[in-house]
Every structure is written in structure tokens, then in C-alpha cells.
């Protein structure tokens, strides 16, 4: 820190100008070696992808990729039905569809408008309640995208609560107060040491039943399974985040605490202004790993009837009977989520270091 590396470089630069030709040769060779290894990388990747493709050809399976897109978006035919019995008074073509007027048997007339030219009745027909007047097509979001969205939502909320919980537990873990410290240790060890699957069961079937029974007694609406799922993921992540926070804080040099405390700052002020901002930059990489795990762990929530991406895929596989395509797609969708998160946190880390 106190040496002056600039002078060293000046010396090297001086030598290099004297040996211009040699150094440029060296640079050329270094460049060649670099590009050679880049080629090696692409070669290995191509081989991997190629062999995977070869394997897919060799298994006894008919690939029907064209069946996959409908689970993202599909064009649903929606039938328009009459709510009343009566006779059709008029059918008009409007600019963007059809307008049907029905004279009800009770004397009122009702208009039905929909965006299509498909009509299944004629003027003067008598209709019963529920008869189909016509139909139109509408793009709907498929079950896989719905599942993806739910996975994203559950993970996001669980990450937010996980950070808060982990921060509190991490600070309690290094506290000298035995109640805080031992509570934190108990929490961390139990949660980290037991299977997430069992924790989800306990949250939903034990705590969930208790909470919902109590709510029912007071006539308050039930808490849906989604929130017990979020709670189980948040407590699970919180335990890991707590350890990450603890190691981050302890990695900050003791002198920082001493300097801030010697200026008269309280423990909390020193934490907030001096220690945590520095610790935060250091814990971003391990946090990223933890959150990626969390996104993938959310696939377990299917067991308590939360239709996130994995459960959605399982349902689609049952109806489509194309397991390979759909599980591949499922994996790729998880990859998209985790990779985006990873990039986002790397960007955040870089920005924080530069500022």
C-alpha cells in the first residue's frame, strides 16, 4: 500500500523500449496462445452439445418440440353464450366484430358484442339460456409461463424475507448477549441441518393447519398455501444468509470497529455506518450462490399444491406425454432465472466496488 509500484513499471517500460522487437514478438506469441485456448473452449463445448444431441437421437423416443409452445401461449376459442332465453332480434357486423341483440322473453333486450365474425345463429332464432351465439379466439398465457411467474414471485419474496431474517440472525449470532446468540445458533443449526422437504411439510401441515384453524374460529379468511411455502423458503434461506452475514462481518478488520468506536460511535452506529457497508460488498458473491439455490429449492413447493414451474411441468407432462422436451424446457427456464440473477448480482458488486 505504501510502496510505489509506478516506479517499478517505469523501469520495465524503459527496458522494453530498448528491446522493442523482442517484446512485440513475445506479445504476439502470448496472443496466439490466448486464442488457441479460446478455440479449445469452443471445441469442448461443441463436442459436449454434439454428443448430447447424438444421445437424444439414439434413445427410442419421438421428439415433438412443436407441442411445447402451446404451454407458453395458446390461442383459446372462447364461446359466447346467452344469459337469457328469447329471440334474436338483430345480428350486426361492426368494424371489429359482431353485435347481437336478443329480445328476452321477459321483455328486456340484451346486447352481446365480441371481437370475431363467427356467428352460429340466425336472426329470428329462439334461444334458450346458455345457447352458444358465436365464438372468438384469444391468446392466453400457458401453464408453464404461469408456473415460471409463480416461481419468480415466490423466490423474490422469500429472498427479501430471507435477507431480513438472515441479517437479524447473523447479527444475533455474533452478539455477546447469550439469549440472542444461542437463539441464533439453535435456529441456524436446526434449519441448516434438516431437510427442506420436512420443513415445508411442517410449515404447511402443522403450523398451517394451526394458523388456519385459529383464523377460522374468528371468521378471518384462510392463509393460502403459497404463503406457508414462502415462509418455509425464507426461514430456510435466512439460516444460510445468517452464516454468510456473520462471516462477512467477521472478515472486516477489527481496526474498523476500534476506529469507529474510539470516535464515540455506539455499537449500532459503527455497524450501520462502517462495518455493514463494507461487509455487504464481500457477501454479495456467496449471497448470489444462496439465492440461486433458493430458486431451485422452490421446486419442492409443488408438494403443498403450489403450482410453480416444476409442478406445472409435471402436470403438462401428464397431459402431453412428452416428458423429455418439457423437462428440458423446465431446466432451461430455471437456468434463465438463475443466470439473470447471477448477472444482476455481479453487476451490483461491480458497481458497489467502483462507487
Partner 1 sequence: MINVNNISKTFMVPHRVDALVDVSENVARAEVVVVIGPSGSGKSTFLRCLNRLETADKGQILIDGVDILHPKTDINKVRAEVGMVFQSFNLFPHKTVKDNVSLAQNVVRKRSSKEAEEITMALLNKVGIADKQNVYPDQLSGGQQQRVAIARALAMNPKAMLFDEPTSALDPEMIGEVLEVMKTLAREGMTMVVVTHEMGFAREVADRVIFMDDGRIVEEGTPEHFFTNPSHDRTKLFLKQIL
What is the SS3 assignment for 62-126?
CCCHHHCHHHCEEEEEEEEECCCCEEEEEEEEECCEEEEEEEECCCCEEEEEECCCCECCCCCCE
> All 3 cell numbers of residue 26?
513475445
Q: Are 275 and 175 in contact (CB under 8 A)?
A: no
Nearer to partner 1, 85 or 252 (CB): 252
Residue 221 within binding range of partner 1, rule CB under 8 A: no
Buried b (16+ CB within 10 A) or exposed e, 48-75: eeeeeeeeeeeeeeeeeeeebeebeeee
Q: Mapping DSSP to helix (H, G, I), strand (E, B) and coil, where does residue 186 land?
A: helix
Residue 90 within binding range of partner 1, rule CB under 8 A: no
What values do phi and psi take at 61, rounded to 5? -155, 135
Residue 160 within binding range of partner 1, rule CB under 8 A: no
Instruction: List the one residue from 19, 38, 113, 263 that touches partner 1 (CB under 8 A).
Output: 263
Rounded to a whole number of angstroms, the minimum distance from the CB of residue 299 to partner 1 is 38
Nearer to partner 1, 193 or 255 (CB): 255
Residue 1 within binding range of partner 1, rule CB under 8 A: yes
Instruction: List the one residue from 117, 120, 273, 350 that touches partner 1 (CB under 8 A).
Output: 273
Strand stretches in the chain, DSSP E:
73-81, 86-94, 97-104, 109-114, 126-127, 132-141
Instruction: List the one residue from 33, 126, 186, 262 that touches partner 1 (CB under 8 A).
Output: 262
Residue 217 within binding range of partner 1, rule CB under 8 A: no
CA distances (Å), 204 to each of 12, 19, 76, 191, 207, in order?
A: 67, 73, 35, 16, 6
Instruction: List the one residue from 199, 260, 298, 299 that touches partner 1 (CB under 8 A).
Output: 260
Interacting span for partner 1 (CB under 8 A) from 106-114, 127-135, 154-162, 255-263:
255-263
Instruction: List the one residue from 118, 261, 307, 314 that touches partner 1 (CB under 8 A).
Output: 261
For residue 149, what are the contacts with CB-CB under 8 A and spacing of at least 6? none
Interacting span for partner 1 (CB under 8 A) from 197-205, 210-218, 253-261, 304-312:
253-261
> All 3 cell numbers of residue 323?
416428458
Other CB atoms closer than 10 Å to residue 175's CB: what's the count?
A: 15
Nearest to residue 204, comparing CAs of 351, 338, 305, 59?
305
Rounded to a whole number of angstroms, the minimum distance from the CB of residue 3 to partner 1 is 8
Number of residues that bind partner 1 (CB under 8 A): 21
Site track for partner 1 across 280-319, x = CB under 8 A = -x--------------------------------------
> All 3 cell numbers of residue 33?
496462445
Residue 266 within binding range of partner 1, rule CB under 8 A: yes
Residue 265 within binding range of partner 1, rule CB under 8 A: yes
Nearer to partner 1, 127 or 275 (CB): 275
Rounded to a whole number of angstroms, the minimum distance from the CB of residue 354 to partner 1 is 11
Binding site for partner 1 (CB under 8 A): 1-3, 253, 255-256, 258-266, 269, 273-274, 277-278, 281
Amino acid at each position: 500500500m505504501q510502496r510505489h509500484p509506478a516506479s517499478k513499471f517505469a523501469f520495465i517500460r524503459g527496458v522494453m523500449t530498448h528491446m522493442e522487437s523482442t517484446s512485440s514478438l513475445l506479445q504476439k506469441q502470448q496472443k496466439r496462445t490466448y486464442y488457441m485456448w479460446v478455440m479449445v473452449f469452443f471445441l469442448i463445448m461443441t463436442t459436449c452439445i454434439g454428443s448430447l444431441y447424438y444421445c437424444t437421437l439414439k434413445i427410442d423416443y419421438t421428439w415433438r418440440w412443436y407441442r411445447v409452445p402451446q404451454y407458453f401461449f395458446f390461442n383459446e376459442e372462447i364461446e359466447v353464450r346467452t344469459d337469457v332465453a328469447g329471440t334474436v332480434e338483430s345480428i350486426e357486423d361492426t368494424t371489429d366484430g359482431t353485435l347481437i341483440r336478443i329480445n328476452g322473453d321477459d321483455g328486456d333486450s340484451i346486447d352481446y358484442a365480441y371481437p370475431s365474425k363467427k356467428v352460429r345463429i340466425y336472426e329470428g332464432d329462439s334461444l334458450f339460456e346458455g345457447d352458444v351465439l358465436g365464438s372468438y379466439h384469444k391468446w392466453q398465457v400457458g401453464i408453464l409461463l404461469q408456473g415460471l411467474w409463480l416461481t419468480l414471485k415466490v423466490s423474490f419474496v422469500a429472498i427479501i424475507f430471507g435477507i431480513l431474517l438472515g441479517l437479524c440472525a447473523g447479527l444475533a449470532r455474533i452478539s455477546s448477549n447469550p439469549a440472542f446468540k444461542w437463539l441464533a445458533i439453535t435456529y441456524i443449526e436446526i434449519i441448516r441441518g434438516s431437510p427442506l422437504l420436512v420443513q415445508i411439510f411442517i410449515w404447511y401441515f402443522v403450523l398451517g393447519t394451526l394458523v388456519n384453524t385459529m383464523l377460522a374460529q374468528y371468521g378471518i379468511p384462510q392463509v393460502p398455501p403459497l404463503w406457508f411455502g414462502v415462509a418455509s423458503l425464507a426461514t430456510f434461506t435466512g439460516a444460510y444468509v445468517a452464516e454468510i452475514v456473520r462471516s462477512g462481518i467477521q472478515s472486516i478488520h477489527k481496526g474498523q470497529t476500534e476506529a469507529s468506536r474510539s470516535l464515540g460511535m455506539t455499537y449500532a452506529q459503527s455497524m450501520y455506518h462502517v462495518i455493514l457497508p463494507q461487509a455487504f460488498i464481500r457477501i454479495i458473491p456467496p449471497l448470489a450462490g444462496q439465492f440461486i439455490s433458493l430458486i431451485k429449492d422452490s421446486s419442492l413447493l409443488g408438494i403443498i399444491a403450489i403450482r410453480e414451474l416444476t409442478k406445472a411441468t409435471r402436470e403438462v407432462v401428464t397431459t402431453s406425454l412428452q416428458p423429455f422436451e418439457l423437462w428440458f424446457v423446465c431446466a432451461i427456464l430455471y437456468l434463465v432465472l438463475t443466470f439473470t440473477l447471477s448477472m444482476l448480482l455481479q453487476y451490483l458488486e461491480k458497481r458497489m466496488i467502483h462507487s
